Structure 1
Amino acid sequence: MTVLVVGASGFLGAEVCRQAVAAGRRVVGTYHSGAVAVPGVEGHRLDVTDRAAVRALVARVRPAVVVGTPYRYADWAVTADGAAHVAYAAAEAGARLVHLSSDALHAGRPEPYGDDEPPSPVFPYGAAKAAAETAVRAIDPTAVLVRTSLILGEGSKQIQLCRDALAGRAVLFTDELRCPIDVADLAAAVLELADTDHAGVLNVAGPDAVSRADLGLLVARREGLDPAGMKTSTGAEAGVLRPTDVRLDSRRAAGLLRTRLRGVREFLAA
């Protein structure tokens, strides 16, 4: 089975590649700049905003599975249009599509969000992820759309942000609650879903809700760092418009998957 990972130079994409290679699959990965750094992966430079280029690559590779992980935080063309181009090419080739979405498309509220709840974005990145979902579902109703949360692991931006805040170089918000997931758990879930016929949106996140400030404390405990100097604030105080309390209810995924979705306290203590 050939797996095409669009965005293989990213944090999650690289882990999907590693696990797919370890499972004995032929893996092709794309990148926009730099290179794919995973041994055993056939790398191709690709601009996902170029629809013709995406179609040509998928037609040449002829994958059984396409995993779409590309995004650029402030770039609608990559996050929204690029997702549509990947979905179109995958459907055209008859490939199984696993599209990666985000909890950023929700506005935030005290109650957890179920799998089937419609997007309610409050900032541009969330709107782009919502638009990407709409396009993917319209183009390929058989695709699975994985809504996830903060992705953690060695080398993740989230862990580095915590380290920077503990060193006084960044700020962690006390009012931004998320359900972090370990990158290895998420990649395993993605590949497992690729082998199923599950369609539509599925929340795949950790069971523990923590604030970014709480996450900083957990990182401090794991790494033996003094949390006394950790800088914290709230989004309102910082003048940042982003969702606050966004908790994903991933019980459906937990019942569907063999992959165990560990809580943040468990995998950071490992």
Structure 2
Amino acid sequence: MTYLVVGAGGHLGGEVARRALAYGHRVIGTYHSAPGEIPGVGWRPLDVRNRVAVRELCAAVRPSVVINTAARYTDWATTADGAASVALAAADVGARLVHLSTDALHAGRPAPYGDDEVPSPITPYGASKAAAETAVRALHPGAALVRTSLIIGDEHSAQVRLCIDMITGRASGVLFTDEFRCPVGVEDLAEAVLELATSDYAGVLNVAGPDTVTRAGLGELVARRYGLDPLRVPAGSLNGMHRPARVVLDSSRAGKLLTTRIRGVRELLDHRPE
């Protein structure tokens, strides 16, 4: 099978591409500024904001599966319009589509969010991801849309790097004590995405970690894993910032549907690297 991984130069996209290769598939990975360093991937430059370019690439590659991990926090055209372009192109060639979404499209509340909850964004990024979902569902009704949370990996991943930089003073700011999320390991998430790619599941599916932790709590776990002092975690409150405070995804449907085991953040970060 041919897999087209849109955004393969990124953290999750790269992991998806590596695993798809390991399963023996042909993998075409797109990048915006520079190709990744994954041997075996056929790299193609792509600006998802260019609808014609997206359709031409899909028509040339004829993928069996398209996995869209491309998004930018401050760029509506990439996140929302780009998702529409990818969905339309995938539908044109009859490809299976798995679209990556986020818990950031929820406003936050005490109760967990189910898979079929209507988006309630309060930030521009959340609004762009909600718009992306609407476009994907309209243009490619058979697509699987994966809502996930903070994606963590090794010390080079963005979420872990942020914690390390703040703890060591290389970055300013605080890790919030009252912002709750369900972090997920990049390897587990990539495996779940690839499992969905070979299924016929359509619609939204929450795929997040089973542990609910604060940003500050994540920082403490990262500190212990990398031999840093947890007491040096710069912790602070949201203090009325316009951000979702508590977003807990109920991933029980994914737990029943998928064979992939999604580990909790405490299990992922409970040991020091070699």
SS at match of 2:266: helix
Match of 2:210 among 207, 222, 229: 207
Partner of 2:245: 244
For the aligned residues, what is the CA RMSD? 0.9
1:64 aligned partner, one-letter code = S
Moved more, 221-230 or 188-197: 221-230
Q: 1:261, 1:160 → 2: CA distance?
A: 21
Alignment correspondent of 1:141: 141
- Aligned partners of 1:124 and 1:9: how far apart in 2? 24
Look up the match of 1:259: 260
> How far apart in 2 are the matches of 1:255 and 1:195?
16
Q: Deviations over 1:110-129 (max 9, x none)?
A: 11000000000001000000
**Alignment partners' CA distance in 1, 2:262 and 2:232:** 32
Q: Which amino acid aligns with 2:157?
A: S
Amino acid corresponding to residue 12 of structure 1 in structure 2: L
Tell me the CA shift for residue 38 of structure 1.
1.0
Deviations 1:95-148 (A, max 9, x none): 000000000000000110000000000010000000000000011110000000
> Hey, what's the Cα distance between the residues in 2 that align with 1:267 and 1:85?
35
1:186 to 154, 177, 189: 189
Amino acid of the structure 2 residue aligned with 1:184 = E
Match of residue 110 from structure 1: 110
1:109-128 residue pairs with structure 2 within 5 A? 109-128=109-128
**C-alpha deviation, 1:240, in angstroms:** 3.3
176, 187, 212: which one aligns with 1:173: 176
* Alpha-carbon distance between aligned partners in 2 of 1:10 and 1:26, rounded to the nearest angstrom: 18
In the alignment, the residues of structure 2 paired with residue 33 and residue 25 of structure 1 have an alpha-carbon distance, to the nearest angstrom, of 25
Structure 1 residue 228 displacement after superposition? 2.1
Q: Distance in 2 between matches of 1:212 and 1:261?
A: 19
Instruction: State yes or no: 1:218 paired with 2:218.
Output: no
* Identity across matched positions, percent: 65
Q: Amino acid of the residue matched to residue 66 of structure 2?
A: V
What amino acid does structure 2 have at the position aligned with 1:146?
V
SS of residue matched to 1:214: helix
Separation in structure 2 between the aligned mates of residue 72 and residue 262 of structure 1, nearest angstrom = 26
Aligned to 2:58: 58
Match of 2:33 in 1: 33
The partner residue of 2:231 within 228, 231, 238 is 228
1:269 corresponding residue in structure 2: 270
Aligned to 1:4: 4
- Which residue of the partner structure matches residue 89 of structure 1? 89
**Count of residue correspondences:** 268
1: CA distance, partners of 2:237 / 2:28: 42
When normalised by structure 1's length, the TM-score is 0.98
Aligned residue number for residue 159 of structure 1: 160
Cα separation, 2, equivalents of 1:160 and 1:36: 19
Q: Which moved more, 1:61-70 or 1:219-228?
A: 219-228
Segments of structure 2 that go 5 or more residues without pairing to the other structure are: none
2:165 maps to a residue whose letter is D
Alpha-carbon distance between aligned partners in 2 of 1:11 and 1:240, rounded to the nearest angstrom: 27
Flag as ranges the 4+ runs of structure 1 deviating above 4 A.
none
